Amino acid sequence: MTVRFVALLFLAAVAPSAAILDPGDFLALQAIRKALDDVPGSRFFSSWDFTADPCGFSGVRCAGDRVVALSLGEPRAGSPGLTGRFDPAVGRLSALEDLSLAPGRVVGPLPSTITELTNLQFLALSRNFLSGVIPPAMGSLVRLRTLDLSFNQLSGSVPHELAAMPTLSNLVLAHNHLSGELPAFSSPALVRLDLKHNNLNGVISALPPSLEYLSLTWNRLSGTVEWLLPQLRRLNHLDLSVNHLTGPIPPAVFSLPLNELHLQRNFFSGEVRPEGAVTIPTVDLSYNQLSGAIPPALATAKRLYLNNNRFTGEVPAAFVEKLLNATIQTLYLQHNFLTGMELSPAAEMPVSSSLCLQYNCMVPPPAKMTCPPKAGFKKVRPTSQCAEWSG
């Protein structure tokens, strides 16, 4: 007598009036349960009594006799989650559309059998201790819309197969140990791409124009972006900070419908020349090699970080006006080569506004400045570093 037949007889006995769960799904759930357990403080598996109908288990949703959604772990914030490993039997849940795992202590590799779940649309296994590589065959899940494997210990490269998935709209692989070069992304439905805090290197070769959220911060990416970024006209969040990117910042970037623009801690150079009015609330271009005059168009930002660059000349009057009426909340200009700012000695800085001008080629105005600790204690650059003062 086969195990599958035994399971079928058992299900008929415990749930004669309900739809009988597919025996393969029943056995898969049993294997998944044996490989996982509650972390002390969690009671997720307290309802998993296999003498009852598995479709009534916590986290299990059925359609007819098949499991179509499996949410492992208590969804409430602060839940201690689960421990153990992901059993390969999950691949037998062939009707599964949604698979998620609450934050916890699940370890080991991603089962390669996940790639057999051809109906899968949502896969979220973040904030655990999963390791190993991302199976390239995951790119064959043509119905997958969301893939979130963030905050794990995954290594290896980002499979090229993921970059061309036809329906994938959210790819979140942040906070892992991924390395190698970025694949050329061409997924036509991709809206969110989050690969921050990895060890990715090389150039950003291609990104789809459908993107609305892009975060690649804290990697080792290099090369220029002047031809690439202007094509991403739907972006509302852009973070390329803490990389090794070079060249000019494309003027069209400042016309994108962004809520935040983070390009700090790279090697961008040249002048900053926005095209038209800038409507981005937060702009951070600090710790680069930008030069020339500060463009007045940036005075519309609420939080502007231009510190630790090579800007010269006087601070445009537009910034003074915006500071005094509290339109600008933060203006960091320290560690540049600026030569003046026409701020009246009688002017009172609003409590809600922060201005820092330390270490420029000027004596800071008497208005109270609010500088971060990293600005240091020196108020003015040595005259030897300031061409206008050097004689």
2-31 tens-digit pLDDT: 545 445 545 444 444 346 999 999 999 999
Whole-Å CA distances, 101 to 30, 36, 152, 239, 309: 17, 11, 12, 27, 44
Q: Which residue has the tokens 């399971």?
A: 7
Helix pair angle (3-14, 23-35), 10° resolution: 100
Q: Is residue 186 part of a domain?
A: no
Cα dihedral sign for 218, 221, 224, 226?
negative
Where the chain has pLDDT below 50, the residues are 1, 3, 5-6, 9, 11-18, 391
Whole-Å CA distances, 350 to 297, 330, 367: 22, 11, 10
pLDDT at 2: 53
Residues with Cβ within 8 Å of residue 94, at least 6 apart in sequence: 24, 66, 116, 117, 118, 119
- Contact 349/323 with Cβ under 8 angstroms? yes
Rounded Cα–Cα distance for residues 279 and 255 (Å): 8
Q: Which residue has the tokens 């119905």?
A: 143
> What residues pair up with 99 in beta bridges, in sequence order?
70, 123
pLDDT at 62: 98
Cα dihedral sign for 164, 167, 169, 175?
negative
Q: Is residue 241 part of a domain?
A: no
Quote the distance between the C-alpha of residue 371 and its chain's center: 28
- Contact 269/290 with Cβ under 8 angstroms? yes
Amino acid at 314: E
Secondary structure (3-state) at 284? strand
Q: Which two tokens stand for residue 196?
A: 């921050």
Number of domains in the chain: 1
Q: Which two tokens stand for residue 160?
A: 């090229």
Range of the structural domain that residue 259 is part of: 250-390
Q: Is residue 376 part of a domain?
A: yes
Q: What is the pTM of this model?
A: 0.93
Closest CA to 31 of 74, 75, 81, 67: 67
Closest CA to 286 of 256, 247, 251, 242: 242
Q: Is residue 22 part of a domain?
A: no
Q: Is residue 2 part of a domain?
A: no
Q: Is residue 282 part of a domain?
A: yes
Closest CA to 35 of 79, 73, 82: 82
Q: Is residue 124 part of a domain?
A: no
- Contact 4/54 with Cβ under 8 angstroms? no
- Contact 166/142 with Cβ under 8 angstroms? yes
Q: Which two tokens stand for residue 145?
A: 């819309």
Q: Is residue 166 part of a domain?
A: no
Rounded Cα–Cα distance for residues 263 and 243 (Å): 9
Residues with Cβ within 8 Å of residue 146, at least 6 apart in sequence: 121, 122, 123, 124, 168, 169, 170, 172
Q: Containing H/E element for 99?
A: strand 98-101
